[in-house]
Amino acid sequence: MSRNAESTAFRSALEVIRAVEPRVADAIGAELTDQRESLKLIASENYASPATLLAMGNWFSDKYAEGTVGRRFYAGCQNVDTVEALAAEHARELFGAAHAYVQPHSGIDANLVAFWAVLADRVESPALKKAQVRQVNDLTEADWFALRRELGNQRMLGMSLDAGGHLTHGFRPNISGKMFDQRSYGTDPATGLIDYDRVAEAAREFKPLILVGGYSAYPRKVNFRILREIADSVGATFMVDMAHFAGLVAGKVFTGDFDPVPHAHIVTTTTHKSLRGPRGGMVLCQPELADQVDRGCPMVLGGPLPHVMAAKAVALAEARRPDFADYAQRIVDNAQALAEGLLRRGAKLVTGGTDNHLVLIDVSGYGLTGRQAEQALLDSGIVTNRNSVPQDPNGAWYTSGIRIGTPALTTRGLGIAEMDQTAELIHTVLAQTTAGANADGTPSKAKYTLDPDLADKIARQATDLLAPHPLYPAIDLS
């Protein structure tokens, strides 16, 4: 696509929107401006290509397409079949997977599809066998009661939330924690690293139906071969949630024992984050689970979103290009440079560094909570998110950590030298921020003090750092 074509496409789209609701057009333009001017360090965010963005704004948005390719409950889905089949083909080839299901709307949806596929495959009961037949009206109340008991009493073992796991890995606030009897494995208190012997011990004691690998805030590689061996030793299905690091798998930065696809029975992911696609989810699995996974709609999902599947096909095609592997390696190189820059300035990092795309700063060393640090950085033009650290005394709301990641800045073209400058900006803000107090004089976990002039200065420096690396340089909305 030519530079002029990109500008014309987005300018024209905003003109059409503005004619109906100008405030929405203004908000879209403002979001582009904000993203251009801010250091985006949220580990779960990235910038999709113009082609991916444009693939979502079209007539596919108007289609209902329940079912799967060639087996729809609505007529007229031949074009939806085309884009869904293309997205699945690209996913299989990119990850070396036997089967790919590209309908999930999000990572949570992908995990729910995986959970129910495993349950339906593994739990044997007369009620479940009846439920797998389409004539569900034949089920009695007693059948439904037995089915709920069978499916609701299974066990899941996953990484604890404060060690870097995710809410969807069996925690009570999420539906997964209501579906499963859940237990967590943590990390070594001294190193912050997974202790595989302790995971094996927990699996032998708990005997889970599903062992979950993967994370949202663990800054190291995971040995999926060992976790599969642990799962096999207790007869568990091994599931990996690679939502955060899928781009590193796609780019062949994580291979061998650190590539989950050859080792897991079932793998879930989002299609944004380090994969740099549209917001959505995906499930990869071994052949024996394919039929159950393909029942994700209507088992868990509402109708698939054909316009997003079209964008997934575009993004996955982009990820199959040779330059994506270079991009994935630069993500890790930048994260390690950012970590080293922070360590040189005295920051405390969980596990002492990183092997992947993210860095977890324990901001208690600056006398702050995660919430205070997050807001102070945002005041200074640096966008991050607060996150728990292992054995976090401040809980999941205030936290003691800040999670930062390099996928987005790497997309913009920033490199190792800019990561050191970024570390300097982050350290300066945190070192100059002081915790505040409540009205009664007690320490506050939310209030803080930061000189506004310093915040403005850092924000200008952040903008200057980004200036040589413009975001969507071909797009001019003026």
Whether residue 429 lies inside any domain: the answer is: yes
**Number of Cβ within a 10 Å radius of residue 359:** 31
Which of residues 47 and 147 earns the better pLDDT score?
47
Query: What is the tally of structural domains in the chain?
Result: 2
Whether residue 53 lies inside any domain: the answer is: no
Indicate if 281 and 379 belong to the same structural domain: no
- What HEC string does 397-417 produce? HHCCEEEEECHHHHHCCCCHH
- Whether the upstream peptide bond of residue 50 has omega within 30° of 0, thus cis, is no
Whether residue 150 lies inside any domain: the answer is: yes
Strand partners, 269: 282
Enter the pTM of the model: 0.90
Q: Residue 134's pLDDT is what?
A: 43
Residues 213, 255: Cα–Cα separation, whole Å? 16
Q: Which of 296, 319, 342 is the last residue of a domain?
A: 319
Q: Residue 3's pLDDT is what?
A: 55
How confident is residue 299, by pLDDT bands cut at 50, 70 and 90?
confident
Strand partners, 210: 156, 237
User: Residue 62 pLDDT more than 70?
Assistant: yes
Residues 462, 382: Cα–Cα separation, whole Å? 7
Share of the chain above pLDDT 70, in %: 91
Least reliable range by pLDDT among 46-55, 112-121, 191-200, 283-292: 112-121
Residues 398, 395: Cα–Cα separation, whole Å? 6
Q: Residue 135's pLDDT is what?
A: 47
Q: Residue 235's pLDDT is what?
A: 92
Indicate if 181 and 312 belong to the same structural domain: yes
Task: Please name which of 446, 436, 422, 458 lies closest in space to residue 347, comparing C-alpha atoms.
Answer: 422
Tens-digit pLDDT profile for residues 6-44: 999 999 999 999 999 999 999 999 999 999 999 999 999
Q: Residue 136's pLDDT is what?
A: 47
Tens-digit pLDDT profile for residues 118-153: 887 776 555 556 555 544 456 677 766 676 666 666
- Angstrom distances, CA of residue 252 to CA of 86, 133, 330, 426: 21, 41, 12, 30
Q: Which of 295, 319, 343 is the last residue of a domain?
A: 319
Whether residue 40 lies inside any domain: the answer is: no
| Residues designated catalytic | 64, 66, 241, 270, 273, 279
Indicate if 349 and 309 belong to the same structural domain: no
User: Residue 161 pLDDT more than 80?
Assistant: no
Q: Residue 130's pLDDT is what?
A: 59
Give the CATH number for residue 404: 3.90.1150.10
Over residues 110-125, mean pLDDT: 81
User: Residue 469 pLDDT more than 90?
Assistant: yes
Over residues 228-255, mean pLDDT: 96
User: Residue 1 pLDDT more than 50?
Assistant: no
How confident is residue 85, by pLDDT bands cut at 50, 70 and 90?
very high
Q: Residue 163's pLDDT is what?
A: 73
Over residues 452-475, mean pLDDT: 95
Indicate if 332 and 298 belong to the same structural domain: no
Indicate if 182 and 307 belong to the same structural domain: yes
Over residues 446-472, mean pLDDT: 95
32 close to 472: Cβ distance less than 8 angstroms: yes
User: Residue 172 pLDDT more than 90?
Assistant: no
With 0-12 / 13-18 / 19 or more C-beta atoms within 10 angstroms meaning exposed / middle / buried, residue 92 is middle
Whether residue 33 lies inside any domain: the answer is: no
What is the residue type of 140? Answer: T
387 close to 405: Cβ distance less than 8 angstroms: no
Q: What's the chain's average pLDDT?
A: 91
Whether residue 25 lies inside any domain: the answer is: no
Indicate if 313 and 345 belong to the same structural domain: no
Name the residue range of residue 71's domain: 59-319
Largest CA distance in the chain: 70
Over residues 376-387, mean pLDDT: 96
Over residues 358-379, mean pLDDT: 97
**Number of Cβ within a 10 Å radius of residue 262:** 15
Indicate if 292 and 333 belong to the same structural domain: no
Give the CATH number for residue 255: 3.40.640.10
Over residues 45-62, mean pLDDT: 94
Whether residue 50 lies inside any domain: the answer is: no
The torsion angles phi and psi of 454, rounded to 5 degrees, stand at -65, -45
Indicate if 379 and 455 belong to the same structural domain: yes
Tens-digit pLDDT profile for residues 397-409: 999 999 999 999 9
Q: Residue 281's pLDDT is what?
A: 96
Q: Which of 319, 343, 366 is the last residue of a domain?
A: 319
Q: Residue 222's pLDDT is what?
A: 96
Indicate if 396 and 306 belong to the same structural domain: no
Indicate if 362 and 417 belong to the same structural domain: yes
Indicate if 271 and 369 belong to the same structural domain: no
Least reliable range by pLDDT among 161-165, 204-208, 329-333, 445-449: 161-165
- Angstrom distances, CA of residue 187 to CA of 74, 236, 315, 332: 48, 21, 34, 22
Strands of 42-177, DSSP E:
67-68, 71-72, 99-101, 154-159
Whether residue 22 lies inside any domain: the answer is: no
Q: Residue 155's pLDDT is what?
A: 87
Indicate if 336 and 440 belong to the same structural domain: yes
